[in-house]
Every structure is written in C-alpha cells, then in structure tokens.
C-alpha cells in the first residue's frame, strides 16, 4: 500500500522532493501552499528575487530527466560580476564557472509544471491558497485553512515541512516536541527592483552575462539579467535606516536613484519608480535548528530547517541539496523513514550550521576589509595555484566546488571568517 506524503510548501525544495518521492513509486503526494497558484496569477513580483543556481543545486535538479534543461531555458548564465562605484573605475570579477540565474517564482513555476505533467491526479494533488493552522503529530493530522471555505483536517503517513523560514510546522515542533530552534532577523531589509537592461535613447546597455552590483555605504544593489532583456534584483539597506522611507512620489524615487545609483536611474522608468514605491519592505529571517525531523514521520527541509542570509547565494542551493541527500538516505534504508530521518538530520545539521556561519561572516563590514576581499576574489585562485600551502581560494571559489561540504569550506576559510567577526565586534 502506498504511503501518503503531505508536503506543506510549494517552493523549490518541496516541489523537487515531490519529484523524487513520486519517482520512487511508493508514495502518493499531496502539496499544500499558502500562496496563490503562480500559474493563475503569474506570480507576485512584490517579493520575488533572483536565485543563482550553482552545481550544488543543479546536481539535485539534474537527477530528474529534462528538468535542468527546462530551467536552463528560462535562465541566464552569468560569467562574472561588475561592481560599480560612484567614483573611480568599474571593477569586473570574472567567474571560472558560470552560474545559472533565474527568478525564484519562475523556478518554482517550472518545477510545478514539470511535476504536474509527469504525474497523474491519482498520485499527485496540489492545492494553493491553503494555510497550515496546526499539526497533531500523535494523531498524524494537519489542519489547513483554504482561502475560501472552512478549515479542514487531513491525515498523513509522513509530513514534510517545506514551508519556509516562518514555518508553522517547525513552530509547532518547537512548542510541542522539544525542537530547539533559534530565529533572528537579518539586519538588512530589501525591496524588489525590476528594470530593462538597456535604454536605447541614452545608448546605455548593461551586459547580459554579468551580475551588476553597487555598494553605497549601507545601501547596496544587486541586479541580475533575466531572459527577455530584463534585470531583476534588489535594493538592500539597513532595516533601521531605509533610504526610501521618506520618498512619497515616483519623481522622488527616480531622483534618488539618479543621484545615488546613476546607471539604475537611467534605466528606471516612472512606472517602475511608482511600482517600487508601492512594494512592501521585506525582512529576512535566519533559522538554526538542532534537528530536522520528529519521530519517524516528520521531515523539516530547506528554509524551514536552516534559512540563512542571502549574502553568498547558497540558500536555495542548500535546500535543493537537502532533497538529494534525503533521497539518498531513503534509498540506503529502503524507504524506512525511522532510519532515514535521523541519518539525514545527523549529516545536514552540522552543514546547516556551517552555512549560517559562512553566510553571516563572509562579507566584510569595513572599507579596508572590502579591499582585501575583492583582492581575494580576483587573485585567490591564481595565488592558490602558485602557493597552495600559503593561499586559500576565496570563499566563493570554494563554494563552487560541490565536492566540498559547507563544513569543509568553513574550515578552509576560518581565518577570514574570524577576521570579519573581529572587525564586526569592534564596530559594534
């Protein structure tokens, strides 16, 4: 008899896990997502953001036939980063291995489309607009509230919390099952920005195969090329010092960007300035847990288990890697979740803690350290080749090697991480 798997959350991790479980032929899968169906509303642009898929994430996707090709067709490959300064020469940092960049909502949509085309309604059920209200782990039930109508309760054999950094299931486990979890807000906040990649009237065009970054004291921007000659990205700022807070009109927004980020200001239309004014400020939560399961029936993965700062672009890659590794344990233990769950947790918890350390302390807080950091990015790999005993590649170069675990990357980068920690403690 097939086991009934209920997955709460239709983000990249939950959808990819559904692919893996259904492929095993031993499960029926039901997915419930709080947000609206992206296929009906084209996804909300308010809080979407670009994702860089590196080999860690792509390796997990590649296991499903045709999936990587479908995602690549809706993506852009970037082979470097251009860093712009208000004064001085623009600096370009090349990448030896291009990264695949895609909008987060688009990634989820492709995973969902591929899933529903591959599996019938008998094996797979997907329902949007359903909020998880409560869980009873002893009765193995979960209560859900649809956007319209009355709340309903359903039973499960296994329950997967793939419902993001503000996971209701994780919250329940912390309150009722002794899960130890630490949550904190990232000091930065952001707004989504969407632009054309060129302005013909001004003869301005940003390169289609580069990430574009600006750093202005405590305000930063990152714009990522998308298919169709668009740029999707974010303006990032200290949550307590929002530079957009005092702006009340689209003209003021446009003037701000023309003064502070001139290239962006030349690409931004008044319509986009108005849209940006109306978009909400988004805050990110980091999550650290002591285990990623409960008993033999509840799994916690992705951001629900280990949400991190997006500073080094590993959140989605780590979530997709979760899925690959969990399925390997299912295969090893012949789908015995009582063995697979603790084994998965034992392996991934240390990796998640290492990833949080890397995400929190990779980027330098001071001008002097930023100069050293850029020098490491530009020369680290070459100097390591010449002097392997004395020079370690940059953290970003190390992260590109999917054969290195996050714990190994942290160990190799511990000197730099400690330097950033000391610098931040002196500032505070």
57-104: pLDDT as tens digits? 999 999 999 999 999 999 999 998 998 987 768 888 888 788 899 988
In this predicted structure, the answer to whether residue 42 has a pLDDT above a threshold of 60 is no
Region(s) of the chain under CATH 3.30.9.30: 186-283
247 burial type by CB count under 10 A (0-12 exposed, 13-18 middle, 19+ buried):
middle
pLDDT level of residue 373 (50, 70, 90 thresholds): confident
Query: What CATH number has the domain spanning 186-283?
Result: 3.30.9.30
| pLDDT at residue 382 greater than cutoff 80 | no
pTM reported for the whole predicted model: 0.92
- The reported pLDDT for the residue numbered 362 is 86
Strand order in the sheet with 293-294: 124-128, 27-33, 3-8, 158-161, 298-300, 293-294
Task: Read off the pLDDT of each residue in 172-188 and give the average, rounded to a whole number.
Answer: 93
Position 375 scores a pLDDT of: 75
Span of 54-68, 132-146, 148-162, 355-369 with lowest mean pLDDT: 355-369
Residue 141 scores a pLDDT above 90: yes
CATH class of the domain comprising 3-79+103-184+286-359? alpha beta
Residue 275 has pLDDT above 60, yes or no: yes
Pairing of strands 91-103, 76-84: antiparallel
pLDDT at 132 exceeding the cut of 90: yes
What distance in Å separates the CA atoms of residue 162 and residue 108, rounded to the nearest whole number? 13
**What percentage of the chain carries pLDDT values higher than 90?**
69
> What is the C-alpha to C-alpha distance for residues 147 and 127, in angstroms, rounded to an integer?
11
Q: What is the band of 43 on the pLDDT scale with cuts at 50, 70, 90?
A: very low
CA 371/CA 29 separation, integer angstroms: 50
Q: Residues 194, 235: contact at Cβ < 8 Å? A: no
1 vs 3 pLDDT, higher one: 3
- Asked whether residue 393 carries a pLDDT value surpassing 60, the answer given is yes
CA dihedral sign, ordered 331, 333, 338, 344: negative
């Amino acid at each position: 008899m097939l086991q009934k798997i209920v997955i709460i959350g239709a983000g990249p991790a939950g959808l990819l896990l559904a692919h893996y479980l259904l492929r095993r032929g031993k499960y029926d899968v039901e997915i419930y997502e709080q947000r609206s169906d992206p296929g009906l509303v084209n996804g909300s642009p308010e809080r979407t953001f670009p994702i860089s898929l590196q080999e860690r994430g792509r390796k997990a996707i590649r296991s499903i036939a045709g999936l990587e090709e479908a995602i690549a067709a809706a993506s852009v490959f970037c082979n470097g980063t251009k860093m712009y300064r208000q004064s001085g020469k623009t600096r370009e940092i090349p990448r030896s291995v291009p990264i695949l960049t895609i909008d987060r909502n688009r990634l989820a949509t492709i995973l969902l489309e591929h899933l529903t085309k591959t599996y019938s309604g008998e094996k797979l059920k997907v329902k949007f607009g359903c909020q998880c209200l409560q869980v009873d782990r002893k009765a193995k039930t979960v209560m859900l509230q649809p956007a319209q109508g009355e709340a309903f309760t359903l039973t499960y054999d296994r329950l997967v919390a793939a419902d993001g950094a503000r996971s209701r299931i994780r919250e329940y486990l912390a309150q009722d099952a002794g899960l130890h979890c630490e949550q904190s807000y990232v000091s930065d906040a952001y707004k989504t920005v969407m632009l054309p990649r060129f302005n013909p009237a001004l003869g301005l065009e940003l390169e289609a195969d580069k990430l574009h970054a600006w750093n202005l004291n405590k305000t930063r921007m990152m714009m990522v090329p998308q298919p169709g000659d668009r740029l999707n990205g974010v303006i990032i700022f200290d949550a307590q010092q929002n530079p957009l807070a005092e702006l009340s009109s689209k003209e003021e927004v446009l003037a701000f960007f023309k003064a502070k980020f001139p290239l962006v200001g030349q690409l931004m239309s008044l319509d986009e300035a108005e849209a940006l004014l109306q978009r909400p400020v988004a805050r990110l939560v980091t999550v650290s847990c002591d285990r990623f399961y409960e008993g033999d029936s509840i799994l916690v993965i992705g951001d629900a288990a280990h949400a991190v700062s997006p500073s080094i672009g590993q959140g989605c890659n780590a979530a997709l890697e979760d899925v690959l590794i969990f399925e390997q344990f299912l295969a090893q233990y012949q789908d015995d979740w009582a063995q697979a769950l603790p084994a998965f947790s034992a392996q991934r918890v240390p990796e998640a803690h290492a990833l949080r350390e890397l995400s929190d302390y990779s980027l330098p807080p001071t001008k002097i350290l930023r100069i050293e950091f850029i020098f490491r990015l530009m020369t680290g790999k070459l100097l390591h080749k010449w002097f392997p005993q004395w020079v370690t590649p940059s953290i970003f170069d190390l992260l590109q090697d999917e054969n290195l675990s996050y714990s190994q990357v942290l160990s190799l980068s511990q000197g730099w991480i400690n330097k950033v920690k000391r610098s931040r403690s002196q500032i505070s």
